[in-house]
Amino acid sequence: MKAPELILTNGKVYSVKLNDEIVRGEAVAVREGKILKIGNKEEIMNLAGENTEIIDCNGNTILPGLCDAHCHPSIAAASMAGADLFGVYREEGQSAEDVISILMGRLKEYVDSHPDEKVIRGTGWIYQDFSPAERMPSRLDIDKVCADRPVILESFCQHNLWANTKAIEIAGVDENTPDTSIGCIYREENGYPQGVFNDPEAMDYIKTGVPGYDLTVEQYKESILWYQHECANKYGVTFVQDCMHSDNAREAYRQLAEEGRLTLRMRAVYHLKPDKYEEQLPEYIARKGRDNVDEDFRIDTIKMFAEGMFSMIDGYLPEFCDAIGQPHDFNAPLYWPDDVFVNCAEKAMEAGFNVHVHAMGDKSVKQSAECLAKAQQIAGRKPRNVIAHVMITPDETAELMGREQIIANCQPAWMMLEADVSGEIEMFGAEKALQSYPFRKFIDNGVTVAFGTDYPVTPPPDTMQEICVAMTRSITPGAIGYEKFKGQVLGDEKPAALAEAVKALSINGAFQMFGEDYTGSIEEGKSAELVVLDSDLENTRPEDIYAIRIDKTIFKGKLVYDAASES
C-alpha cells in the first residue's frame, strides 16, 4: 500500500457527522488529497513512509475544514479597493454632523491619495447613525470633499448607498426619476435626490448607472485571493457561500477555479430581484451549470430578499415611528407577494436550484417559511432551501421549518446582547427583542442549522468567536461595547453545546451547499480538509474559546495556512 503524503499526529480529532456521531482519534493520515485513516498515534505512524510529511499537533484539536455558509467575499474584497469607512460608530453625545465629519475626513484622505481614480468607492458607514427626523447624509457632504469625480459610498450592511452629485448626474437620476417599489430614494424638497439610496432597486440606479463602478475581473481575482488567505483559510474555512456578487466577481471565481488557484470551495448565487424576476428566472434556469468548475466553484442557488435592511419587526411601536420620522402605521413592505414568491421558488426548485432567502423580521421569516413550504409541496421535493439571518422567528414558523426541512442559516456572532439588541429593547420592548437570534428553538424543532458570518457586515469572520458566542450568548473581549455588556446573556435560551456549534460550522454548512458527501467532516475517503488549532478546544472554557487561533489549515491535503509562517 502506498504511504500517506501527510500525517497529523499527537492531536485530538473532533468532528461531528450528520447523524451527530462524534469522530475522535489522535492522528489522521492523508494520501492523494483524501483522508486515508483516522486512529491512534501508533497505528497511523506505522503507515508513514520515507517521504511522509509529519505534523505534530502538540495535543491540540484537529477539526474538519470549516464552512462560512453565508457571507459576501466579493463585496469584502471590493471594499478593499476604496475608502475604509468601517468602525465609525456614533458615540454618546455625538451629533450626526460629528459622524459625517469623521467619515468625510477619511474620504478626503483617500481621495487625495488616489488622484487618478475615475470612480471613488468607499464602504462601511452606518445608516443607523442617522435618521430622517434629525439629519441624513447628503450628496453635498461628499461634494465638499470631491465634486469632480463620481463618489459612491456603500454602508457596512450593503443595504444603503450614499452618492455625490456627480454620481447622481452620471446615473441620470433626478427629480423626475420615479420612486422604486422596493427601497427608497431620499429626496430634497424639490424632489432631487438627497444622496442616500436605500435597498436594491433604488441602489441599482447608481450602481448600474455609473460606468466603471464595479471592479474588473482582474481586480476581483486579486482581491478574492486576498480574501481566501486573510479571511477564510486564516480562520480554518475551506467552504464558502458568497451570497451576493456581481457578474465580474462571478467570472473571477470561475477563472480562479479553472486556474487551480482557489484554496477553498466556493459557492455562489443568482440573485432574483422582485422587479426583474420575469426576465431573470428563465435566464438563470437556462444558465444553470455553465459557470460550474467541478466542485471548486458552483452555482446551485437562487437568492431572494424577503425584505430589506430594516423590515425587522412586524408592527412598529408609535415611539419607534416617531424616532425615525414615519407615520404610526408605517411598516416597511415585504418584497414579494406570496403567490409570486411561491411560483418563483417552485420553478427554481424544479430546475434543480435551492432557494436562499434573506429574512430577519418575524413577518418576513414567517412568509419565507410558508412560501418555501408551499413551493416544496408543489414541486414535490425538499432541496435544502435556506432562510438566512432569522432574527425573530415565531414558534410555529420554527416548527414548520423543521417539518419541511428548511435550513436556518444563523450568524452566531450576532447571538449576544450588545448595542443593536439594546436599541431594539428600547424600540420594541425586552420581551420581543431578547428573543433575537434563536438557536435552541431551531434545534428543538429539528431544524438543520448552518452558520455564516455575513462578513464584511460583521468583521472579522472569526470561527472561534462564532463558537464562543454560540456557546455563551455573551459579548467577547475586544467587541464594541464590551465594557458595557460584558457578562450579560442574550435572552434565556439555552446556548449551543460544543458539538452543536461545531456541527453547524462544518458538516451542516457542507450539507447546505450539497457537499456533505466529500467534505465537512473527518471521515475516511473524504477530501482532506483539516484544521489544527493552537489549543485543546474541548478543555477550553466556552467563554475563552474566542482567544483560540488557527495554527494550520489544510485543503485537499495541502497546507494552505500556517500561522508559523505568517509572522
Provide the percentage of residues in the chain whose pLDDT is more than 70.
96
Percent of the chain with pLDDT over 90: 81
Residue 126, pLDDT above cutoff 70 = yes
Please give the pLDDT value at position 528: 98
Classify residue 365: in a domain, yes or no: yes
Band of pLDDT at residue 76, cut at 50, 70 and 90: confident
Out of 173, 207, 241, a domain closes at: 207
Residue 405 confidence (pLDDT) = 97
212 within some domain: no
Per-residue pLDDT of 31-57, as tens digits, reads: 999 999 999 999 999 999 999 999 999
When pLDDT is cut at 50, 70 and 90, the band that residue 199 belongs to is confident
CATH number at residue 100: 3.10.310.70
- Domain boundary residue among 186, 207, 228? 207
Region 360-380: mean pLDDT is 94
pLDDT for position 314: 55
Q: pLDDT tens for residues 426-467?
A: 777 787 788 899 999 999 999 999 999 999 988 899 999 999
Please check whether residue 235 lies inside any domain of the structure: no
**φ and ψ of 196, to 5 deg:** -105, 130
Residues 356 and 474 in one domain: yes
What's the per-residue H, E or C state across 114-164? CCCCCCEEEEEECHHHCECCCECCCHHHHHCCCCCCCEEEEECCCCEEEEC
How is residue 180 written as a grid cell? 422604486
Per-residue pLDDT at 251 exceeds 90: yes
Which of 327, 326, 328, 331 is closest to 310 using CA atoms?
A: 331
pLDDT-derived band at 187 (thresholds 50, 70, 90) equals very high
In a domain, 27, yes or no: yes
- pLDDT value of residue 81: 79
Question: Looking at the domain assignment, is residue 70 inside a domain?
Answer: no
Asked if 301 and 398 sit in the same domain, the reply is: yes
289 and 192 fall within a common domain: no
Closest by alpha carbon to 81, among 143, 126, 123, 115?
A: 123
Up-side HSE of residue 261: CA atoms within 13 Å toward CB? 14
pLDDT value, residue 451: 98
- SS3 at position 195: strand
Alpha carbon distance 539, 61 (integer Å)? 10
pLDDT of 458: 84
Average pLDDT over residues 521-530: 98
For residue 211, name the pLDDT band (cuts at 50, 70, 90): very high
Q: How far is CA 21 from the centre of its chain?
A: 28
- Rounded to an integer, the average pLDDT of 363-382 is 94
Q: Does the pLDDT of residue 91 top 90, yes or no? A: no
Quote the longest CA-to-CA distance of the chain. 80
pLDDT at 423 over 80: no
Give per-residue burial for 531-564: e unless 16+ CB within 10 Å, then b.
Answer: bbbbbbbeebebbebbebebbbbbbbbebbbeee
Q: Is the pLDDT of residue 365 over 90?
A: yes
- Own/partner contacts of 182-189, CB < 8 Å, gap of 24 or more, are 182/274, 182/275, 182/308, 182/333, 182/335, 183/308, 186/132, 186/136
Q: Say if residue 37 is exposed, middle or buried (CB neighbours under 10 Å; 0-12, 13-18, 19+).
A: middle
pTM: 0.93
Provide the sign of the torsion angle of the four alpha carbons 371, 157, 164, 222, taken in this order.
negative
CATH of the domain at 29: 2.30.40.10
For residues 355 and 496, state if they share a domain: yes
DSSP state, residue 488:
-
The confidence band for 315, taking pLDDT boundaries of 50, 70 and 90, is low
Of 148, 183, 178, nearest to 166 by C-alpha is: 148
Count of domains forming the chain:
3
Q: Output the pLDDT for position 155.
A: 92
pLDDT band, residue 329 (cuts 50/70/90) = low
What's the whole-number mean pLDDT along residues 270-291?
96
- 313 and 375: one domain? yes
240 within a domain of the structure (yes/no): no
DSSP state of 497: P
Question: Is the pLDDT score of 295 beyond 60?
Answer: yes
Residues 201 and 300 in one domain: no
What was the pLDDT predicted at 118?
Answer: 95
Cα separation, 466 vs 461, whole angstroms: 8
Position 12 scores a pLDDT of: 98
Of 238, 187, 216, nearest to 513 (Cα)?
238
Is 113 strand, coil or helix? helix
Average pLDDT, the chain: 93
3-state secondary structure of 29: strand
User: What is the pLDDT, as a whole number, of residue 1?
Assistant: 73
Same-domain status, 59 and 102: no
Question: For the domain that residue 331 is a member of, what is the CATH number?
Answer: 3.20.20.140
pLDDT of residue 80: 76
Residue 263, domain member (yes or no): no
Residues 60 and 94 in one domain: no
Q: Are 196 and 96 in contact (CB under 8 A)?
A: no
473 shares its domain with 531:
no
Where in the sequence is the domain holding 117, given as residue range(s)? Answer: 82-207
Q: Domain check: are 275 and 418 in the same one?
A: yes
Give the closest residue to 537 by CA, choosing from 239, 236, 227.
236
Closest CA to 265 of 512, 502, 499: 512
| Position 321 confidence tier, pLDDT thresholds 50, 70, 90 | low
Amino acid identity, position 405: Q
Do both 13 and 100 map to the same domain?
Answer: no
Domain boundary among 164, 186, 207: 207
Residues 345 and 320 in one domain: yes
pLDDT of residue 309: 64
Res 238: pLDDT:
98
Residue 531 binned pLDDT confidence (cut-offs 50, 70, 90): very high
Is the CA virtual torsion 299, 254, 158, 165 positive or negative?
negative
Instruction: Decide if 354 is inside a domain.
Output: yes
Helix (H) or strand (E) holding 315, with range, is none
Per-residue pLDDT reduced to its tens digit, 400-411: 999 999 999 999
